[in-house]
Amino acid sequence: MDQSFDKVIEELKSLEAQRSQAAAKARGVQTVSRSFLEQKIVNLLTEVKVEGRVCAVDGGILGEELHFVDLLLVRSAGACFDYKAGKKEKHEYYPSAFPQPQIKNMHALASHEFNWFKNLTRVESELDCAIDCVEKFSPNALFLDGSIVPHPADKPNKESSLYDTYERVIAKFKQLYDSCAKQNCFLAGVIKDSKGRNFLENLKENAELEKEFFRALNYSNDSSFLAHLLKVGERTSFLKYSQSELAVKDLGEWGGKINTTYIRAVEFDRPLRIDFLNVGQEQSEAGINLVYSLSKTHRAYGYPAVLIEADLRATLDPKEMEFACHELFSRLPSANLTLRRNNRPFR
């Protein structure tokens, strides 16, 4: 490596030191932004002995762009664990322990639309599974892998053939919120790797912090900063989900009930972002403590055990897409036209 790599290392070391210093100053700050819902920036979590039924849903997807058709394989899986005095006593799966993937296709999509097609198909499949799990199992809590809010990048242009799909997905988000609220089921989306900045942008509104502090924040995201701020067993103040996101506005009155917090569950892992439906402070605190208690299985991987199980059931092997394409090409040889960028005879 040349000297430029040494320069990068020194820059990163300096930035980490600045984050650490800024986090130490922020721990005692009282919130002033109206988006923070609690007075303290840092709050304690409570480990509980889990009681009742907890469900989790995750989805897997594979995509293949061909010359005149786009193919997807999608599978969503729900895992349901029954707990008593903190120990798992029973488990069930939906629609089964080993659900078969579904194949989806679209024609005449522009290249930039393929990701919309792929992401919306996965989210819709997960929502269908989640809604069915709430109705079938009546859980005390339901966790999704990823946010419970549509990603803004997944919203197609109104002129796109996929805009109807987006509107259908929005309707299913609302249906899931309504089902959980009616059944008193705590709904949370657990985000493995977040690069959001909503927490930091609101923290900047605290006038007592110096300009040097703000400079450290400008080169951070929530997760990188909170890795220094939060200790094990702590969470951030509940925070309103960023209302500037167009996708949140599409959710109507439900958008105002989506909150975010970060928790530090284990010593050797980063804080975990949780987006949740806040239908009451007491239920929300209990729900976040539940996520915390279920995320302490491994000291280097703070993530709810039931979501780990759902992920294992939903994950697709690339060989499954290879088999699907082989079947297509054997029955319809003219379809065997892969994109040139994936079929170079030389490098």
Report DSSP state, residue 208. Answer: T
What is the per-residue burial (b if ≥16 Cβ within 10 Å, else e) of 13-30? Answer: eeeeebbeebbeebeeee
Distance of CA 162 to the CA centre of its chain: 22
User: Does residue 289 lie in a domain region?
Assistant: yes
Residue-wise pLDDT tens for the chain (347 aa)? Answer: 577 888 889 988 988 998 898 888 888 778 778 889 998 999 999 999 999 999 999 999 998 887 777 889 999 999 999 999 999 999 999 999 999 999 998 876 887 898 999 999 999 999 999 999 999 999 999 999 999 999 888 999 999 999 999 999 999 999 999 999 999 999 999 998 898 999 998 888 776 666 667 777 788 999 999 999 999 999 999 999 986 666 788 999 999 999 999 999 999 999 999 999 998 999 999 999 999 999 998 999 999 999 999 999 999 999 998 888 878 777 877 655 555 455 555 55
> pTM score, two decimals?
0.92
Provide the CB-side half-sphere exposure for 35 (13 A, CA).
20
User: Does residue 1 lie in a domain region?
Assistant: no
Provide the 3-class DSSP secondary structure of residue 316.
coil
User: Does residue 10 lie in a domain region?
Assistant: no
Contact 266, 305 (CB under 8 A): no
User: Does residue 317 lie in a domain region?
Assistant: yes
Provide the CB-side half-sphere exposure for 311 (13 A, CA).
13
Strands (E), 85-222: 87-94, 102-106, 141-145, 186-191
> Which pair of tokens denotes residue 54?
């907890």
Contact 167, 124 (CB under 8 A): no
User: Does residue 223 lie in a domain region?
Assistant: yes
List the domain range (segments joined by +) for residue 185: 39-342
Q: How many domains does the chain have?
A: 1
